[in-house]
Amino acid sequence: MKKKFDLTEAFERRIAKTVRSEDPYVLRLYVTGLTPRSTAAFASIKAICDKHLYGRYDLEVIDIYQQPSLARDEQIIAAPTLVKRSPSPLRRLIGNLSEEDRVLAGLDIRPKPKSGT
């Protein structure tokens, strides 16, 4: 007897192969030296990543004063700017990174459920 082809099941298997929760996040944070805004942005994104992506992210900090060509190539026009290079789609978050819900939404990360709820 021939097995019936289930399109939904095939689609879900395909999606599971391409979008895995263990895929690492590749992030670049563009800053302007060791200014208070830059250090606050770094501390905020580091805390958010440690909380929601522990062990699944690579964060590179780029000082646009020291490496202006990288900022130019990435078309960075303001700092701090966080660029999510992977997983797709590419995303950019500009400015204050202290609002955790905004950052999570911008990076397409679902917050971990709160314990006890």
Name the CATH superfamily for 23-106.
Answer: Glutaredoxin (3.40.30.10)
From first to last of its 117 residues, the chain has per-residue pLDDT tens of 555 666 777 666 665 555 555 689 999 999 999 999 999 999 999 999 999 999 999 999 999 999 999 999 999 999 999 999 999 999 999 988 999 999 999 999 887 666 655
Q: Taking the model in full, what pTM does it have?
A: 0.76
Give pLDDT tens digits for 41-74. 999 999 999 999 999 999 999 999 999 999 999 9
Domain boundaries, the chain: 23-106
Are 84 and 90 in contact by the 8 Å Cβ rule? The answer is yes
* 24 secondary structure, DSSP code: P
Tokens of 101: 């819900």
Count how many residues are written for the chain: 117
Residues 6+ apart with CB under 8 A from 103: 44, 45, 48, 82, 93, 97
Q: Rounded to an integer, what is the distance from CA 2 to the centroid of its chain?
A: 44
